[in-house]
Chains A and B, each alone.
Chain A
Amino acid sequence: MNISAPEQSCSRCLYTSRHALGLVIDDEGICSGCRIHEEKDRLDFAERFETLKRIVDPYRAKDPRNYDCIVPVTGGQDSHFIVHVVKEQLGLNPLLVTYNKYFNTPLGIRNLANLRIKFDCDILIQNVNPVSIKNITRTTLRMFGSLHWPCLAGQTVFPVQTAVRYKVPLIIWGAHQGLEQVGMFSHGHEVEMTRRYRRDHDLMGHEADDLLSLFDTLREEDVWQFRYPDDADLAQVGVRGIYLGNYIRWDPKAQHEQMVATHGYQGARFARTFGTYDYVDCYNYMDLHDHLKLVKHGYSKVTDHACREIRHGRLTRKGAQALVAHYEVQPPVHRKLFEEWLGVTRGGLDFIIDQHRNPAIWEEVQPNRFERRVASDPGAEDRAAVEAALSFDAHAPLDRGTGHGYITIGKGYPL
């Protein structure tokens, strides 16, 4: 935020004070994310799970033909574990909702199908017309260098719209990313979903109507699907979104491994990170979107994954440095799919990307040629050995060996 302020680094993980969500580093040189993570080894999570039971209990529908709660899902993140907790541990009857992000991988569609079949749940899928999605993507790429805004906006608003429309007030999310990454809240704050957080962080400060401008071709008919329900409507239904991460010791690697073993979730290898379980439903999130994150903020998803593993005690800081230095410079491998989808040339996309290079991080050494001012230090650790010891498993390639690009309509895709 304050670009002129000196950059501080956490002495425990690899995050710096330039984290996109904001990060506070204390007098001992430890970041707020690491401090809040310490709570995971201090809190009595058995007791906290009882608190969770007490919170959800009043929301059980009296009519068995209605749903107890809404659970937003995808084919690529913590959805299997969330639905496992909601349905098999809390005994709730959830309505699953998902947003068609258009960048779907065959593996993500497979995982989503697996989810709804294995857990035997109803699911609603929101499809916004592709013309509007492309219009918005052009605008958000140009305005603030994001190709993923429509995905993030859809995933975070469709569950809330559904809660209002179906009058199912309780929405259950997995972990709060602000808490997990930068320690925005203590677990004890029991933070809940807010429109403020969505706008501030999920949407990078821009709600749907903020995208409209006299100087752009984007129109109201393109963005209205992404409008957050009004306060009056939320209050009338009593909509409330809670995060399981406040009540369960959140450990994505362990949870994914459990879901692989018990419910058939599948992960995949990525070019730009060692993590294999997150966002396997999207060709762009860990790829071109991740490259843009490096361009704008100076770090990428591999740093998020490395910091998480450091905090869970499975990775040393030096080992993490070796992984980050290797992965964050890898080129995106699915970029051509995006260029063809949006109808943009390679040079045109490069031009847009370069408009968003953070000058505190990048130096233009020749016209249109940029270098990091300070490259990540790989250290002396053997990257391959570090990665092997972490043992993130992959089960299929993103395209499941089909050679298929984006799956724009996922309905009925075979397992």
Chain B
Amino acid sequence: MIKKRLVGVVTVRGGWAVQSFGYGRYLPLGRPEVLVQNLDRWGADEIMLQCIDRSGGDIGPDFDLLDRVARLGIATPLIYSGGIRNANDARASVNIGADRVCVDALLHDNPDAVAQMGYLLGAQAVIAALPLSVVDGAVLWRDYRIGRDAPLSPEVIALLNEGAVSEALLIDHAHEGHPGAFDPAILDCGLADNVPLIAFGGISDTQAMKGLLKRDAIVAIAVGNFLSYREHAVQAYKEALFDVPVRPAHYNRTVYS
């Protein structure tokens, strides 16, 4: 049974797709729509469009961008993340074209609103993003807007353990964008064993991917920067992941009318 996924991440800042390094350094890449369409053609299992400057400025989701992406008519499930302030923002994102939404800042500000989102859209449509790092042996949760680290709050742990959202995106924020740097220790962040996890941040080599995907709790690997360096980067990863249950590599052939 094919049940694990490779998620392509498109990070957007100031309207541009960017490479992101450790939540602090950025390099421009291009138009988000073009990156999304490319990941769709390459056969990514899911695409996450994350707009990282929406919550800090409290300007809400980038509905214009989401609308442009929706009009591409892609076949890959789309996760939208960025600036979602409440259940209505989440519902509007789905109305425009997202299949699922991912929240981060809202988990700090109002976990109840995240639970409400799960009731409104169904828990399967909501993902909790948790930027984590290991400091002195303890896994700490970062509020990226103010750069503060703290243990995961009991409310958020309860939200995830009770299944109010479908999956937790565990982000090694310190190592994000740096090849082969993902720290598996962040996976032990205090969540129940049955919470499905997506691992993200510095995962670039296939051995590490295999090791992670063979864990029961991990349902997906998310990759961002490393998909922009080579042609067919998604297919190359998938070919190397032949012994884990991911969808096989697909090389597109266009049929012109």
B31 at the interface (CB under 8 A from A): yes
Residue picked from A191, A193, A197, A220, most chain B C-beta under 10 Å: A197
Majority-rule SS of B interface residues? mixed
* Interface 0/1 of B17-34, CB less than 8 Å to A: 111000001111111011
Asked if A232 and B231 sit within 8 Å, CB to CB, the answer is: no
A183 at the interface (CB under 8 A from B): yes
Asked if A196 and B35 sit within 8 Å, CB to CB, the answer is: yes
Q: Which of B14, B19, B30 contacts A201 (CB 8 A)?
A: B30
CB distance from B50 to the nearest CB of A (A): 16
Asked if A199 and B34 sit within 8 Å, CB to CB, the answer is: yes
A5 at the interface (CB under 8 A from B): yes
A211 at the interface (CB under 8 A from B): no
B80 at the interface (CB under 8 A from A): no
Complex interface residues of chain B between 74 and 107 (CB less than 8 A to chain A): none
A-B contact count (CB 8 A): 103
Once the chains are docked, how many angstroms separate the CA of A189 from the CA of B27? 12
* Interface 0/1 of A215-249, CB less than 8 Å to B: 00000100010010011111100011100000000
B228 at the interface (CB under 8 A from A): yes
Asked if B29 and A22 sit within 8 Å, CB to CB, the answer is: yes
Complex interface residues of chain B between 198 and 257 (CB less than 8 A to chain A): 228-232, 235, 251-254, 256
Asked if B31 and A1 sit within 8 Å, CB to CB, the answer is: yes
Asked if B14 and A190 sit within 8 Å, CB to CB, the answer is: no
Asked if A231 and B251 sit within 8 Å, CB to CB, the answer is: yes
CB distance from A411 to the nearest CB of B (A): 31
In the complex, which residues of chain A have a beta carbon less than 8 angstroms from the beta carbon of B228? 185, 191, 194, 196
Once the chains are docked, how many angstroms separate the CA of A178 from the CA of B19? 13
Asked if A235 and B235 sit within 8 Å, CB to CB, the answer is: yes
B41 at the interface (CB under 8 A from A): yes
In the complex, which residues of chain B have a beta carbon less than 8 angstroms from the beta carbon of A36? 27
Asked if B27 and A231 sit within 8 Å, CB to CB, the answer is: no
CB distance from A147 to the nearest CB of B (A): 21
Asked if B30 and A22 sit within 8 Å, CB to CB, the answer is: yes
In the complex, which residues of chain A have a beta carbon less than 8 angstroms from the beta carbon of B14? 1-2, 5, 17
Closest to B62 in A: A2
* Interface 0/1 of A166-210, CB less than 8 Å to B: 000000000000100011111001111111110111000100010
Complex interface residues of chain B between 151 and 181 (CB less than 8 A to chain A): none
A32 at the interface (CB under 8 A from B): yes
Complex interface residues of chain A between 113 and 155 (CB less than 8 A to chain B): none
In the complex, which residues of chain B have a beta carbon less than 8 angstroms from the beta carbon of A240? 231
Given A22-B29, A231-B42, residue A195 in contact with residue B253 (CB < 8 A): no
In the complex, which residues of chain A have a beta carbon less than 8 angstroms from the beta carbon of B30? 21-22, 184, 196-197, 200-201
Complex interface residues of chain A between 1 and 43 (CB less than 8 A to chain B): 1-2, 5, 17, 21-24, 26, 32, 36
CB distance from B223 to the nearest CB of A (A): 14
B38 at the interface (CB under 8 A from A): yes
Query: Which of the four size classes fits the interface of chain A?
Result: 35 or more
Once the chains are docked, how many angstroms separate the CA of A161 from the CA of B142? 48
In the complex, which residues of chain B have a beta carbon less than 8 angstroms from the beta carbon of A234? 231-232, 251
CB distance from B140 to the nearest CB of A (A): 23
B122 at the interface (CB under 8 A from A): no
B16 at the interface (CB under 8 A from A): yes
CB distance from B98 to the nearest CB of A (A): 20
CB distance from A307 to the nearest CB of B (A): 15
Closest to B18 in A: A24
Asked if B252 and A1 sit within 8 Å, CB to CB, the answer is: no
Asked if B29 and A184 sit within 8 Å, CB to CB, the answer is: yes
Closest to B39 in A: A196
CB distance from B12 to the nearest CB of A (A): 9
Once the chains are docked, how many angstroms separate the CA of A26 from the CA of B20? 12
B15 at the interface (CB under 8 A from A): yes
Asked if A185 and B229 sit within 8 Å, CB to CB, the answer is: yes
In the complex, which residues of chain B have a beta carbon less than 8 angstroms from the beta carbon of A192? 229-231
In the complex, which residues of chain A have a beta carbon less than 8 angstroms from the beta carbon of B35? 196, 200
In the complex, which residues of chain A have a beta carbon less than 8 angstroms from the beta carbon of B38? 194-196, 199
Q: Which of B15, B27, B34, B253 contacts A184 (CB 8 A)?
A: B27
Asked if B31 and A230 sit within 8 Å, CB to CB, the answer is: no
Asked if A205 and B31 sit within 8 Å, CB to CB, the answer is: yes
Asked if B251 and A193 sit within 8 Å, CB to CB, the answer is: no
* Interface 0/1 of A272-306, CB less than 8 Å to B: 00000000000000000000000000000000000
In the complex, which residues of chain B have a beta carbon less than 8 angstroms from the beta carbon of A201? 30
In the complex, which residues of chain A have a beta carbon less than 8 angstroms from the beta carbon of B29? 22, 184
In the complex, which residues of chain A have a beta carbon less than 8 angstroms from the beta carbon of B28? 21-24, 32, 178, 182-184
In the complex, which residues of chain B have a beta carbon less than 8 angstroms from the beta carbon of A231? 41-42, 232, 235, 251-253
10 contacting pairs across A/B (C-beta < 8 A): A1-B31, A2-B14, A2-B16, A24-B13, A24-B18, A182-B28, A189-B229, A196-B35, A230-B253, A233-B253
A-B contact sample (18 more), CB < 8 A, given A191-B230, A232-B252: A1-B15, A1-B16, A2-B15, A21-B28, A22-B17, A22-B18, A22-B30, A24-B16, A24-B27, A32-B27, A190-B229, A191-B228, A196-B34, A200-B30, A227-B254, A231-B251, A233-B253, A234-B251
